[in-house]
Structure 1
């Protein structure tokens, strides 16, 4: 009789993965490394409509369109993620076929924008917890339907810094909500379910190591506070309502800083919790537009802010390039993110459903 230790069993399960050292939540991977959903109902459905992406498992050939995706990069606005798509295209040497251009794959949803550059998917997630939560559900399902193997998710964003200079890049190594909880609380069927916020520690370290000493700005690790509101939820004194003093605000912010919080934004908690629950490696990289200890409003010139917003993109591009070079996949891409229709009738129905405004 042979004895099999847990490590051997884990290695066997992961032997076909890109990185055999990766660990995944139980039940989130098939033997070939493709994403397995923690929802038995999806496999029983005739088709799964990704309503807010204007895609469907019955209408589109999602395997043909997205099977090669390795990196899913999310950011707030459609414009920012379109610019990132063009930026990463240049960085990895991706060439579009003659006569073609990047297209917004989710243009018919009028909610999110999606651009594909070889193994990189660039998607806008909107603002706040509900918006990014919806997108994460559908993007994780997209990875499942497309049979993408071991995808890595990044959120590229802006934030308010705590005790850091404007332009500082903050890599989140932890995330808390406005009450200091290290979990994402979701009311489900009348009960609050808490899912822990966890980032991949190895990925976080690798990103920090890619910060160049010659960069004209600091890159640091820290806890990120995720607020449910831009004004009072972040202790601002410039909203339509404010029932606290400037001194109260500063006392609160200084307390956060002393506990290790480096920045405040509005998406890190659901991003960390849902990617962790799906067994997906993920990281949040934000640039501070201001030091909240010195004010509430962003008064930096637009051209400077535009340069700031490139900084998280530069760091993630370094990671993607290094990964592809290590795997020998740099510049070896096929396809250009075109729409592959499987069922014209269902394709039309998905478009019509996604275009319906309530």
Structure 2
């Protein structure tokens, strides 16, 4: 046995073949190949033995040669807006896990919410061997759509669900999701609203979430003035700046709906600095249900987005397309309204003699 180990070290990792690993483990070369490329097909005990032999012998797969033989790279690409937000990290992790379990690799890049950059980054991924792409949203540059169609590259849109579109999608109806928040705040008695959202340009998710709120309020004959819809960058400072702008309105909003939890966090921080009690003086709701939404003060009312399931379904769709297996075109997912303590009924308006008017406040 020592002699064999010395021989493997002398030959170097580049000379170790798949058959050497199979011989060490006592199985077929095809079993080793499946363990390395499609691990879900092999038992956990056998995978452990194979990976131990791979580490001992220093075996490295020659993916380039395999790709030339099969004309397959088994690589999926994903272009997401940013890696700064935990909600996209959940999507990427689920993509990676689903792809890895089926012998696929994942390449990830970001667009910074820029449609032109999304097209350039997608082109780079395709040039580097990505056989399919995961995109975010429904609005993309015409050049990107032409590239994918011309190369017959499958793709799927996430964070959106448009069953009548020819573009495959996995996600949810952003209008319906934001309408959930608006209806809840209406039920609490709010009639003066403000919105802090990301930039609408080339962002169908932002547009749809605004429309969901506006349409729900309009059905109750409540109009939201343009000045009450504030566009800000998706960061804490954007939420703080957006709230400062809303506080200058007359009448001031009693409820603020934010397009993301990050913007809502910023709004809550600005309230704390100004001595505005949330929710007693101002109700604030977010969107995403990030991990720390339940730990912010007494918790943030928000919409829970199924990011991990979205990533898994997106990977499964692309792998089915690439492997020639049956697949659907659209995958609807549900969101959930998560009620916490950043929202409550509005305080009754005060008359000149100090009495309360309007809706009777609930006892607390």
When normalised by structure 2's length, the TM-score is: 0.29
- Which structure features the higher share of helix residues? 2
- Which structure features the higher share of strand residues? 1
